[in-house]
């Protein structure tokens, strides 16, 4: 090679004088151990400088007010880990150093030009090593000492000093020369570090595609071959004898080892082919060969073979690991791991909510606060589908923060791959489309416990299907686990929706972050603006200001409401102590109290007491600064309101007095007023004067009391007779009916009653008396326990008998109930037909559907005074639910065996007279090869029910959906909708299972035609051939993703979709108390009340304050029509007869919203455990309000 041919003679002479490396073959001596030791001493000097500097840094760091960790935190692998370009630069420099060493080994001297370029590369390598050393110094003294004596630091020092070490001279006296050899070949080992950084910072993570895996694996293999070639060549040239000229071989003499020989030998070694032409002869070379062979076996078995196996089996991809070390600067408090068995659509809902812009104040805050999500799943198809969804433009801000890794949550090796030991949160999501929910729940419970066992600092949230898996039952063994039941929340919301329209939509909107979509409708209307403004409202937990300490809840609510101009609602409190909520307080968790009442005195403990707010953004919550005065504005009430309240109180007081007198009539003493003294005023026994009106009222009260007592006694004796005929215990019957116990007409002859007299003596008599008392007490205790067990067994027997009678149809709703109507019809639609369940499977009952949660909303004792608050419930199902026994203690709950998709069964269940129809999915379990559920049976049941209703009657049909797109398949509405929503959809389905060529090769051309369609259209959801054979599988992932939030049924609160629960779990990552707050809001006593006439055309803000102060009701939102919204905004006349539709207006701005006569207000009563039933909305209250308004306006 003529490296100097392009330079002049003068330039060559100048370079020869200034360079300290040998530049000709004559100037270079063969490399010896003396040269190697001298170069190693120079590298050791560099190592000592780094060590002394590092120890001084660590010792002085505590006294310096500088955050070195923030500055050097990104240099974990040196400059290579700072950016993708830096990693490429460092890798190229190391590669150039290795190529320069190979050139010197071939020519036998150091080329001046290459040597000068190598000097520049050495400067870059020095900066890289220094950056890495600064990062190690920030980790502390133990890590510094550990890294100082590691092989990586020694290699870095030898590579950094390899260019300068070429000036080392060695040899016998008179033959001292420099050599061409140096430690520069070790730079190839630094290439491994650069390739690792490139794989970590690759935009596609280096683990999502098989092409990138092949590229990195091939690069690693070639680097290893080159590195071991330089290592073996150096060991063989140096030889076993230190400085023996006979054993030292220079290139060109006696068949020396050159770089080509080393490459050939290393290639044969790493491919396990073998090469007998060249074998190491020295001991060190043979040791290096053994080490290289072990590394070759390890790389082949752990990298190459699994990669090719995954390519052949179709499981290639997502086999990398999450490099938490390089992402530590962006995730200082840890990342989030998502695992379980979810579908791609469930993951998409979770991710969209997790990275929603509402959680961040701006772009800078997003870059600083947004954390990484590591998705650990074993289903490659779901990962591929999600990867395709992440290519949409909506994910451009956060797609680089999502890492897809294939693995199992129960595998400890996969824990290391996802960095579970450094994670802060873990979320276990279920498969919303699974038909076998029991197996899915059990697997997810094990996954949750496995993730919780990784570290005590990780917080695990597990989302389950069945309502039987409650957090109180599962969270005891692992304190850092939280279990959320989809069916429990769903049935609670469905129960609320049957009584109060719009309640379900209001709660779901508060769980989901939704921005305004101005392109959803072509014509913008005021009702749409109101609805979208309500969609933007969310639940927040914000610590209360210490300035509110000692004030009542009413004062705090009004102050915050006025400061924010009616845009922020304080609806409850949270604290670590017991607040007295009806839900009860769990030790170690925060108690949530919704609407504590206006007179509740708030004890604010700084850092502990917080408020539950409904606001559009966290920054909009404005509170009192300590030292300021409350902004409690005494607003001017409507002119006729004071008179209206006085008249209402007079009317309301009358029925209360009558009811109280009737309830306590037996406790009152008989009156001293005689029948003859009714016409005149007399005095009672206490000397008080009794007027004629009081005498008449007392007389009528006594007559009414006597009549009620007689009827009560007759009813109790009838009940007693019935119980005794059924063989129940007489003593229990007497206690239950408040009658005399059963007595025998003729006493038994073998029992003699002995009457003991008290002798009054002590001694033996007193001792016997003590023994008798102790024995009697012991006997009483035993008998009490026996009676308690007996009563419990009798209760269980009664429950079993009741369940049996309901199952066989012996107890059905009466004909009068079905004729009069007003009942709630619950249609439980199974995933599969009962006839498809094989005989002998033992499935005599359905699954747990959460009926207790559903009935809790309908049998709330706090709402028992409200009109139609406890309607009859008729459950229509093919199989009796497994949790039916929990409803036997409830009145007017009936089970009807039949199919909700059969006309005759629906008519027998009284569908035409029902008040509300609820269609709920029930998971009967996996039958045959059906692994996914479908909404087809639910849509069919809703369609049949819709067409059986009378044409002149509008009955709400509330449905429960597994797929959001199936909402559009429901029958057309009977109410007017001014314009239908646009169906924005992401046409990104899952990837094809097999390439078309492979399908044609394996299954033939007909299968290829069926898979693509002869007309070029996409394949059907269900293949006709599979449908004929009975082994079909629904491909619901190919359905378009509709935005169900703009569906007309969802606007009115008649559609439930489980995506709201997934969004709630994602929101809880930012607010850990959100799940408890939503649970408390669901269990609060909600109502839907009319707006009094005196408040028409008034500000909503004034009405909300009056409602809380005077009626102890917390307003949450409005249930209004589109025409009412138009009238409220424009002031136009509202035609109540015009066709319109209703929607939910969540937390409207109080200062800008006007009330109209058709508005209804969604409120919640006081949530304290000792709160009394609210009379607002009851029949008597409505009548009294009408009478009061009549008197006011007549006057």
pLDDT for the residue numbered 647: 55
Share of the chain above pLDDT 70, in %: 71
Residue 130: pLDDT over 70: yes
Residue 661 vs residue 96, higher pLDDT? 96
pLDDT for the residue numbered 357: 84
Contact by Cβ (8 Å): 895, 866? no
For the four alpha carbons of 1069, 1072, 1076 and 1081, in that order, the dihedral sign comes to negative
Span 625-629, mean pLDDT? 84
Residue 19: pLDDT over 90: no
pLDDT for the residue numbered 251: 44
Residue 1020 vs residue 687, higher pLDDT? 687
pLDDT for the residue numbered 222: 82
Q: Tens digits of per-residue pLDDT, 864-884?
A: 656 567 888 999 988 888 888
Residue 1023: pLDDT over 50: no
Give the residue among 92, 90, 94 at the shortest CA–CA distance from 75.
90
Span 1027-1054, mean pLDDT? 59
Q: Distance between alpha carbon 90 and the CA centroid of its chain, in Å?
A: 42
pLDDT for the residue numbered 1135: 75
Span 365-370, mean pLDDT? 86
Model confidence at 185, pLDDT cuts 50, 70, 90, reads confident
The average confidence (pLDDT) of the chain is 75
Q: Tens digits of per-residue pLDDT, 853-863?
A: 888 888 887 77
Contact by Cβ (8 Å): 1156, 1148? no
pLDDT for the residue numbered 693: 65
Contact by Cβ (8 Å): 480, 862? no
Span 336-362, mean pLDDT? 88
- What is the value of pTM for the model shown? 0.66
Residue 1115: pLDDT over 90: yes
Distances (CA, A) of 440 to 385, 445, 832: 21, 9, 18
pLDDT for the residue numbered 1089: 87
- The SS3 call for residue 573 is strand
Which tokens in the block code for residue 261?
A: 């020989």
Which tokens in the block code for residue 636?
A: 């001017």
Residue 107: pLDDT over 60: yes
Residue 827: pLDDT over 90: yes
Orientation angle between helical segments 1122-1130 and 526-535, nearest 10 degrees: 100
Model confidence at 1126, pLDDT cuts 50, 70, 90, reads confident
Please list, residue by residue across 679-700, b when 16 or more beta carbons sit within 10 angstroms of its beta carbon and e when fewer do.
eeebeeeeeeebeeeebeebee
Contact by Cβ (8 Å): 684, 672? yes
Span 1095-1122, mean pLDDT? 89
Contact by Cβ (8 Å): 235, 249? no
**How many residues in the chain?**
1195
Model confidence at 169, pLDDT cuts 50, 70, 90, reads confident
Model confidence at 818, pLDDT cuts 50, 70, 90, reads confident
Residue 597: pLDDT over 80: yes
pLDDT for the residue numbered 929: 58
Model confidence at 447, pLDDT cuts 50, 70, 90, reads very high
pLDDT for the residue numbered 1047: 81
Model confidence at 557, pLDDT cuts 50, 70, 90, reads very high
Contact by Cβ (8 Å): 482, 471? yes
Q: What is the 3-state secondary structure (H, E, C) of 672-740?
A: CCCHHHCCCCEECCCCCEECHHHHHHHHHHHHHHHHHHHHHHHHHHHHHHHHHHCCCCHHHHHHHHCCC
Q: Tens digits of per-residue pLDDT, 299-308?
A: 777 766 766 6
Contact by Cβ (8 Å): 241, 282? no
Give the residue among 987, 1047, 1065, 38 at the shortest CA–CA distance from 461.
1065
Cα separation, 757 vs 760, whole angstroms: 9
Span 71-90, mean pLDDT? 81
Written as one string, the DSSP assignment of 1127-1184 is HHHH-PPP-TTS---EEEEES--TTT-B--TT-EEEEE---BTTPPPP-TT-HHHHHH
pLDDT for the residue numbered 1012: 35
Residue 479 vs residue 419, higher pLDDT? 419
Span 413-432, mean pLDDT? 90
Q: Distance between alpha carbon 974 and the CA centroid of its chain, in Å?
A: 36
Q: Tens digits of per-residue pLDDT, 1077-1105?
A: 888 888 888 888 888 888 888 889 889 99
Return the DSSP state at 611. E
Q: Tens digits of per-residue pLDDT, 701-752?
A: 777 777 777 777 777 777 777 666 655 666 666 666 666 665 544 343 333 3
Please list, residue by residue across 475-496, b when 16 or more beta carbons sit within 10 angstroms of its beta carbon and e when fewer do.
beebebbbbbbbbbbbbbbbbb
Residue 758 burial (10 A CB sphere; 0-12, 13-18, 19+): exposed
C-alpha triplet 1044, 1046, 1051: angle, nearest 5°: 100
Residue 181 vs residue 974, higher pLDDT? 181
Q: Which of 47-61, 361-375, 782-796, 969-983 has the lowest mean pLDDT?
A: 969-983
Q: Provide, for the chain, the percentages of residues in helix, strand and coil under a 3-state DSSP scheme, each rounded to the nearest 5.
A: 50, 10, 40
Cα separation, 7 vs 898, whole angstroms: 100
Residues whose CB falls within 8 Å of the CB of residue 1043, separated by 6 or more in sequence, listed in order: 517, 520, 964, 981, 983, 984
Residue 367 vs residue 833, higher pLDDT? 367
pLDDT for the residue numbered 1030: 40
Model confidence at 819, pLDDT cuts 50, 70, 90, reads confident
Which tokens in the block code for residue 846?
A: 């359905």
Residue 246 vs residue 1011, higher pLDDT? 246
pLDDT for the residue numbered 611: 92
Residue 234: CB atoms within 10 Å: 23
């Amino acid at each position: 090679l003529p490296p100097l041919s392009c330079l002049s003679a003068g330039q060559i002479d100048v370079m020869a004088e200034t360079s300290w490396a040998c530049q000709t073959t004559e100037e270079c001596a063969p490399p010896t151990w003396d040269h190697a030791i001298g170069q190693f001493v120079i590298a050791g000097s560099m190592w000592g400088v780094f060590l002394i500097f590092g120890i001084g840094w660590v010792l002085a760091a505590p006294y310096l007010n500088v955050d070195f960790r923030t500055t050097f935190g990104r240099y974990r692998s040196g400059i290579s880990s700072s950016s993708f370009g830096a990693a490429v630069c460092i890798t190229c420099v190391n590669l150039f150093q290795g190529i320069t060493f190979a050139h010197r080994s071939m020519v036998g001297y150091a080329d001046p030009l290459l040597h000068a370029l190598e000097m520049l590369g050495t400067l870059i390598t020095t900066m890289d090593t220094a950056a890495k050393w600064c990062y190690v110094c920030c980790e502390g003294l133990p890590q510094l000492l550990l890294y100082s004596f590691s092989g990586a630091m020694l290699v870095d020092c030898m590579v950094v000093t390899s260019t300068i070490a070429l000036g080392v001279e060695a040899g016998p006296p008179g033959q001292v020369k420099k050599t061409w050899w140096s430690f520069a070949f070790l730079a190839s080992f630094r290439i491994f570090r650069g390739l690792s950084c490139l794989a970590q910072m690759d935009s596609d993570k280096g683990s999502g595609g098989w092409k990138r895996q092949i590229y990195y694996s091939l690069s690693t293999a070639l680097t290893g071959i080159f590195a071991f070639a330089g290592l073996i060549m150096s060991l063989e040239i140096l030889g076993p004898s230190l400085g023996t000229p006979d054993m030292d071989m220079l290139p060109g003499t006696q068949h020396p080892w050159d770089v080509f020989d080393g490459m050939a030998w290393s290639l044969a070694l790493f491919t396990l082919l073998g090469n007998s032409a060249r074998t190491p002869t020295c001991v060190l070379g043979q040791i290096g060969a053994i080490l290289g062979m072990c590394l070759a076996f390890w790389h082949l078995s752990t990298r190459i073979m699994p990669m090719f196996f995954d390519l052949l089996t179709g499981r290639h991809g997502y086999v990398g690991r999450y490099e938490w070390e390089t992402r530590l600067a962006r995730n200082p408090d840890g990342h989030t791991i998502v695992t379980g068995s979810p579908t791609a659509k469930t993951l998409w809902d979770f991710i969209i909510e997790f990275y929603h812009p509402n959680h961040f104040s701006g772009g800078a805050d997003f870059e600083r606060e947004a954390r990484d999500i590591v998705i650990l799943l074993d289903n490659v198809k779901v990962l591929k589908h999600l990867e395709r969804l992440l290519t949409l433009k909506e994910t451009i801000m956060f797609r680089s923060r999502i890492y897809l890794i294939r693995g199992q949550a129960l595998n400890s090796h996969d824990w290391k791959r996802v960095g579970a030991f450094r994670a802060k949160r873990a979320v276990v999501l279920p498969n919303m489309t699974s038909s076998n929910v029991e197996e899915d729940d059990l697997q997810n419970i094990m996954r949750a416990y496995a993730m919780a066992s990784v570290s005590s600092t990780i917080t695990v949230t597990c989302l389950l299907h069945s309502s039987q898996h409650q957090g109180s039952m599962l969270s005891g063994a692992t304190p850092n686990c939280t279990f959320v039941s989809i069916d429990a929340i769903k049935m609670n919301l469905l129960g609320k929706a049957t009584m109060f329209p719009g309640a379900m939509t209001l709660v779901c909107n508060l769980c989901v972050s939704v921005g305004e979509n101005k392109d959803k409708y072509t014509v913008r209307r005021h009702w749409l603006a109101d609805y979208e403004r309500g969609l933007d409202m969310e639940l927040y937990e914000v610590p209360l200001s210490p300035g509110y300490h000692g004030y009542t809840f009413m004062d705090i609510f009004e102050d915050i409401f006025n400061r924010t101009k009616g845009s922020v609602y304080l609806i409850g409190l949270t604290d670590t102590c017991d607040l007295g909520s009806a839900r009860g307080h769990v030790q170690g968790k925060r108690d949530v109290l919704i609407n504590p009442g206006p007179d509740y005195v708030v004890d604010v403990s700084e850092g502990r007491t917080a408020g539950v707010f409904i606001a559009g953004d966290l920054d909009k919550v404005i509170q009192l600064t300590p030292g300021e005065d409350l902004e409690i504005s005494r607003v001017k009430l409507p002119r006729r309101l004071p008179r209206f309240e006085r008249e209402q109180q007079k009317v309301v007081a009358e029925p209360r007095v009558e009811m109280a007198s009737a309830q306590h009539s037996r406790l009152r003493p008989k009156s001293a007023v005689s029948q003859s003294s009714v016409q005149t005023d007399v005095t009672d026994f206490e000397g008080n004067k009794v007027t004629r009106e009081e005498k008449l009222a007392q007389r009528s009260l006594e007559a009414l009391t006597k009549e009620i007592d007689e009827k009560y006694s007759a009813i109790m004796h009838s009940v007693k007779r019935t119980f005794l005929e059924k063989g129940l215990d007489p003593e229990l019957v007497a206690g239950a009916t408040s009658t005399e116990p059963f007595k025998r007409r003729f006493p038994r002859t073998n029992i003699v009653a002995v009457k003991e007299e008290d002798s009054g003596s002590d001694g033996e008599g007193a001792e016997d008396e003590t023994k008798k008392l102790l024995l009697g007490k012991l006997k009483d205790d035993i008998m009490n326990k026996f009676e308690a067990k007996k009563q419990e067994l009798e209760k269980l027997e009664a429950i079993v008998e009741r369940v049996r009678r309901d199952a066989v149809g012996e107890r059905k709703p009466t004909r009068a109930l079905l004729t009069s109507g007003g009942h709630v019809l619950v249609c439980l639609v199974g995933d599969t037909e009962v006839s498809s369940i094989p005989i002998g499977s033992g499935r005599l009952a359905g699954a747990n559907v959460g009926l207790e949660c559903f009935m809790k909303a309908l049998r709330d004792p706090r709402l028992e005074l409200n009109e139609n608050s406890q309607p009859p419930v008729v459950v229509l199902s093919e199989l009796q639910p497994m949790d039916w026994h929990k409803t036997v203690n409830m009145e007017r709950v009936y089970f009807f065996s039949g199919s909700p998709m059969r006309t005759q069964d629906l008519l027998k269940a009284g569908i035409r007279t029902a008040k509300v129809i609820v269609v709920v999915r029930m998971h009967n379990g996996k039958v045959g090869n059906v692994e996914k559920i479908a909404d087809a049976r639910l849509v069919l049941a809703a369609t049949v029910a819709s067409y059986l209703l009378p044409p002149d009657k509008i009955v709400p049909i509330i449905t429960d959906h597994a797929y959001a797109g199936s909402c559009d398949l429901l029958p057309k509405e009977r109410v007017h909708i001014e314009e239908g929503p646009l169906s924005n959809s992401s046409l990104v389905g899952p990837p094809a299972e097999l390439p078309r060529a492979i399908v044609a090769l394996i299954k033939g051309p007909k299968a290829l035609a069926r898979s693509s369609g002869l007309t070029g259209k996409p394949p059907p959801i269900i293949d006709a051939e599979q449908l004929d054979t009975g082994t079909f599988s629904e491909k619901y992932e190919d359905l378009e993703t509709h935005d169900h939030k703009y569906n007309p049924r969802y606007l009115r609160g008649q559609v439930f979709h489980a995506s709201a629960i997934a969004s709630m779990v994602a929101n809880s990552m930012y607010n850990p108390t959100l799940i408890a707050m939503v649970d408390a809001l669901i269990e609060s006593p909600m109502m839907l009340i009319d707006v009094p006439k005196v408040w028409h055309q008034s500000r909503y803000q004034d009405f909300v304050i009056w409602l809380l102060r005077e009626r102890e009701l917390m307003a949450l939102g409005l249930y209004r029509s589109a025409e009412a919204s138009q009238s409220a905004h424009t002031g136009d006349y509202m035609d109540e007869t015009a066709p319109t539709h209703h929607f939910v207006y969540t937390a409207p701005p109080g200062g800008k919203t006007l009330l109209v006569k058709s508005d209804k207000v969604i409120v919640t009563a006081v949530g304290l455990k000792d709160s009394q039933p609210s009379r607002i909305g009851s029949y008597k209250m409505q009548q009294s309000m009408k009478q009061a308004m009549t008197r006011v306006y007549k006057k």
